[in-house]
Structure 1
Amino acid sequence: MEPEQIREGYLVKKGTVLNSWKVVWVVLSEDGLEFYKKKTDRSPKGMIPLNGATLMCPCQDFSKRMLVFKVSSAKKQDHFFQASHLEDREFWVKDIKRAINCLNGGKKFARKSTRKSIKLPETVNLSQLYTQMRDQETGIKELKLEKENKIFNYCFTGNSVIDWLIYNEKVRNRQEGLMLATGLLTEGFLQAAGDISKEGAEGTAESSLLDQSDAFYYFADSGFFCEGYSSDEDAIVKEQFRGNIIKQGCLVKQGHRRKNWKVRKFVLRDDPAYLHYYDPTKGDEDPLGSVHLRGSVVTAVEHIPEAKKYDIEGNLFEIITSDEKHYFLQAASTEERKEWINNIQIVAKSGK
């Protein structure tokens, strides 16, 4: 019998020979992890057997790359993957861990929650803690903070994180608070903002989160953005990033000039209504472009002009902006296309 397919989707993978990072289509089955150059390819570029494999998450081998996890085969060959966002990494790590455990135990794969790799007491649930910290009424307050001619929006300080943990009786003292907060940082729930906090996160100290009033952090799925004291024109550009993140993930996008298709990471924000897209092999600081969605129309399509069926087929949709600019995109599945269309339609109507 063929192994059951568990999960598939886009991930960024580090080359085994070269140090370049490229987007690949990854398929997780009960006994292995296959990766393809393109989703439509019939033969994989490679396959990682999971029998006897180990998984490390978070993987901090690359200080400038977040959301990386490592799969090491039984033959001690390391494979590094990077997810597009926190939730995406959580799903992949959970299923890969479960598949490895089932193989080692001679059991059939079944979805079941697993412990995260961070070395914290068994009673600690980081996902639940993160949800509590984000609560609008009782959580950590997001502020506009200023430092060295820069404004950090939707941010908070390192010492405010420890204060909150102590006040809410999550820890007994500041030392325990640092351990727990460092776990949230290394797992990607919290992100460093500014030079001081980034240096702490990339350092070798036991506590990578700094208990300081000048170390700034933000929630992974918040509307964080940083701006300098600049012209009105720059301020308008930064305004695009104020909205809450509604949905994010990888889609295939058609270029406007060459009409070629490339995988891009998309982030949908609601107020103002923008869809930003990025090169998933790089960081999220500089988007390749943005789509202003206010008044836009989005529909599913079955055919795209100037696109060969060999290159792209299935799960397509089109966004037409209020100034009649057309964007053609492809989702990985029918269900994912439906989710993107529904969310974009809501944002286009309600966002400004």
Structure 2
Amino acid sequence: MEPKQVKEGYLVKKGTVLSNWKAVWVILSEDAVEFYKRKTDSSPKAMIPLKGATLTSPCQDFGKRTMVFKISTAKKQDHFFQASHSGEREAWVKDIKSAIGCLEGGKKFARKSTRRSIRLPDTVNLNELYTLIRDQDNGVKELKLEKENKIYNHCFTGGTVVDWLISKERARNRAEGVMLATGLMNEGYLQPAGDRSKTGASEGTESVFLDESDAFYFFADSGFFCEGYSSDEDDIVKEEFRGNIIKQGCLLKQGHRRKNWKVRKFTLRDDPAFIHYYDPAKGGEEPLGSIHLRGCVVTAVEFVPDAKRYDVDGDLFEIITSDETHYFLQAATAHEKKEWIQAIQTVSKSGK
């Protein structure tokens, strides 16, 4: 019998010969990970066997490139993949670990929870803790903090995080709070912002979360950005990034000029209503473009005009902005297409 397909979607992969990163279509089955140049390709570029493999997450071998995990095969070959956000990485890591565990035990694939850090007690679930600390009503509040002629937006201090952990009885003392916060940072849920916190994260052999008022951090999937004292014109541009992130992930996008299709990472914000898109392979923070969604129309479509240079079929949708600009996109699955359409429709009505 053929192994069952467990999961599929876009990830960014580091080349095994060249050191460049490229977006690829990835399929996880019960015994292997296959990756394709395009979603529509009939044969994979390569197959990574999972029997005897190990998985490392987070993998912090690449500096600023976060959300990376590593699969090491039984033959000691390393394969590096990057997800677009923490929730996506969590889902891939969980399913790959489960597949490896089932192969080791001679069992069929079955989803099960996995502990995310060997340094923490078995009772600690960092994904659950992050959900609580990220809660807009009862979690750590995101603020605009100022230091050395710079403004850090959607940010908070290390001391605030430890205070929250103790007040919610998640930590018994400040030392335990630092341990939990360090775990969240090492897993990529919290990111250092500013020189002080970045120094703590890079000093010595292990990163350390700083329980200090001048050490700034931000949520990995927040709208964080840093700016110097700027003109009014710069503030108008930055206004696009002030909204909360509602949804993010990779989609296939048709270019406006050449009509070719490329994988882009999309980030949807609510107020103001904008969706920004990035080149996921570059891992940079500067978007390639933005779409103002206020008053837009978004619908599912069956085909795309001039889609000649790329074989696209299924899970397509279109965004028509208030100024009549058309954007054609393809989701990884029908379910994901529905989620994107619903999220964009909500934001276009509520956001300014």
1:164 shift after superposition? 2.1
Query: Identity over aligned residues, as a percent?
Result: 75
TM-score, with normalisation over the residues of structure 1? Answer: 0.96
1:300 shift after superposition? 1.2
**Matches for 1:63-212 after TM superposition, within 5 Å:** 63-212=63-212
TM-score, with normalisation over the residues of structure 2? Answer: 0.96
* 3-state SS of 1:135 partner: coil
The 8 Å contact of residues 58 and 117 in structure 1, kept in 2 or not, is answered as: no
Report what 2:224 is aligned to.
224
The 8 Å contact of residues 56 and 117 in structure 1, kept in 2 or not, is answered as: no
Return the alpha-carbon distance in structure 2 between the equivalents of residues 144 and 241 of structure 1.
13
Report what 1:13 is aligned to.
13
The 8 Å contact of residues 265 and 278 in structure 1, kept in 2 or not, is answered as: yes
Return the alpha-carbon distance in structure 1 between the equivalents of residues 73 and 179 of structure 2.
30
Gaps of 5+ in 1: none
1:183 shift after superposition? 0.4
**Closer/same/farther in 2, CA of residues 296 and 324 from structure 1, 3 Å limit:** same
**Closer/same/farther in 2, CA of residues 136 and 327 from structure 1, 3 Å limit:** closer
The 8 Å contact of residues 36 and 46 in structure 1, kept in 2 or not, is answered as: yes
Return the alpha-carbon distance in structure 1 between the equivalents of residues 18 and 204 of structure 2.
26
RMSD: 1.5
1:18 shift after superposition? 1.3
Return the alpha-carbon distance in structure 2 between the equivalents of residues 112 and 197 of structure 1.
34
Return the alpha-carbon distance in structure 1 between the equivalents of residues 342 and 225 of structure 2.
26
Return the alpha-carbon distance in structure 1 between the equivalents of residues 32 and 241 of structure 2.
39
The 8 Å contact of residues 298 and 345 in structure 1, kept in 2 or not, is answered as: yes
**Closer/same/farther in 2, CA of residues 36 and 117 from structure 1, 3 Å limit:** farther
1:137 shift after superposition? 4.2
Deviation by residue 1:197-255 (Cα, 9 ceiling, x = unmatched): 22322333534222222111112232322222112111111111111111110001111
The 8 Å contact of residues 260 and 310 in structure 2, kept in 1 or not, is answered as: no
Return the alpha-carbon distance in structure 2 between the equivalents of residues 185 and 139 of structure 1.
16
Return the alpha-carbon distance in structure 1 between the equivalents of residues 53 and 6 of structure 2.
17
* 3-state SS of 1:276 partner: strand
* 3-state SS of 1:240 partner: helix
* 3-state SS of 1:152 partner: strand
Structure 2 residue identity aligned to 1:300: A
Matched, 1:274 2:271: no
Corresponding pairs, count? 352
Deviation by residue 1:279-331 (Cα, 9 ceiling, x = unmatched): 10123520110000001011111121211285222211111111111111111
Structure 1 residue identity aligned to 2:258: R
